[in-house]
Amino acid sequence: MDITARIERSLHTALAPGATPPLLNLAMQHAVFPGGARVRPRLCLAAAEACGGDDPALAEAAAAAIELMHCASLVHDDMPCFDDAATRRGRLSVHRAFGEPLALLAGDALIVLAFQTVLRAPIRHPERLAEIMRIVADSVGTPTGIVAGQAWECETHVDVSAYHRAKTAALFAGASMAGAAAAGGPIEEWRAVGERLGEAYQVADDIGDAISAAEEMGKPVGQDAALGRPSAVRELGLRGAVARLEALADAAAAAVPPCRGRAGLGALIREGARRLLPKTLPAGAM
């Protein structure tokens, strides 16, 4: 089974309706399906495979947990008190489709479901559970996870480097480390792979925000400028930002620790980062 099918299957298993209040389940499904590029769970599974992949069910649960956390953050970030986004991935955002109460609850339930997904997995190596849960939790919560990253936007004195690391890179770092942990690999050694890739992704997002048409992104664009957020394009110009993205992808590939799948993974990372660039990039920007 290919990597995309494995990710979608574990997400569908996690979101099976069961006894969940029906509208809550639909709101959660709306937040998760259809997905975006699933970059984080792909990275998680790729890291697990590169480390030997001896417990696929655990790696899939970890990958699903990371993606559920990502989807939860999108639901809450889209709400009126943050971005007030009407659309996401080309459809209504969760709060526009289901109302604010269910959007708030769907985000909460997805955060908890991420942990439940790891805890419910039919796994061979239960002794790896706690480490995976710790990685997932720390990449989302305080002091340095994506929730903390979002909270830096509410401070008057912002630690810009902490902001960037937490807002996006933390969950990418969590993805690579959780994948390694799921396969019994080294953990800290995988942090830089995810962090560099997360930084690359943030730069790609800044580029997309600056130049894409709303139709292509499927969400409102030009938000960074409108909200006065830091942006790689404003700092480096468009050509500089594209060069920065490629340098970060190279750094991510170079950071892959010695393992069976090192060469293949490096190529995958460089290729994946390039695909993050908007299709409408003006000639001469690369």
Residues in touch with its own copies (CB under 8 A): 18-25, 28, 72, 76, 79, 81-82, 99-102, 104-105, 107-109, 111-113, 115-116, 119, 126, 129-130, 133-134, 137-138, 140-145, 147-148, 150-155, 162
Q: Which residues contact residue 158 at a Cβ distance below 8 angstroms, ignoring those fewer than 6 apart?
A: 152
DSSP E strand boundaries for the chain? 87-88, 91-92
Nearest-angstrom CA–CA distance, 89 and 87: 7
| Least spacing, CB of residue 65 vs its own copies, in Å | 11
Supply the minimum distance, in Å, between the C-beta of residue 209 and its own copies. Answer: 20
Q: Assign 91 to helix, strand or coil.
A: strand
The least distance separating its own copies from the CB of residue 241, rounded to whole angstroms, comes to 26
CB of 243 to its own copies, least distance (A): 31
Beta carbon of residue 200, minimum distance to its own copies (angstroms, whole number): 24
Q: In the complex with its own copies, which residue's Cβ is closer, 180 or 241?
A: 180
Decide whether 21 or 222 has the Cβ nearer to its own copies: 21
Helix, strand, coil share of the chain (percent; to 5): 70, 0, 30
**Minimum CB distance to its own copies, residue 157 (Å):** 8
Cβ closest to its own copies, residue 148 vs residue 175: 148
For 116, counting Cβ atoms within 10 Å of its Cβ (0-12 exposed, 13-18 middle, 19+ buried), the class is middle
Q: Output the furthest CA–CA distance in the chain (Å, rounded).
A: 55
Residue 197 in tokens: 């890739």
Q: Which is nearer to its own copies, 81 or 213 (CB)?
A: 81
Whichever of 129 and 253 has its CB closer to its own copies, that residue is 129
**Residue 46 to residue 51: CA distance in whole angstroms:** 9
Name the residue among 167, 169, 75, 71 with its Cα closest to residue 113. Answer: 71
Of the two residues 131 and 189, which places its CB atom closer to its own copies in the complex?
131
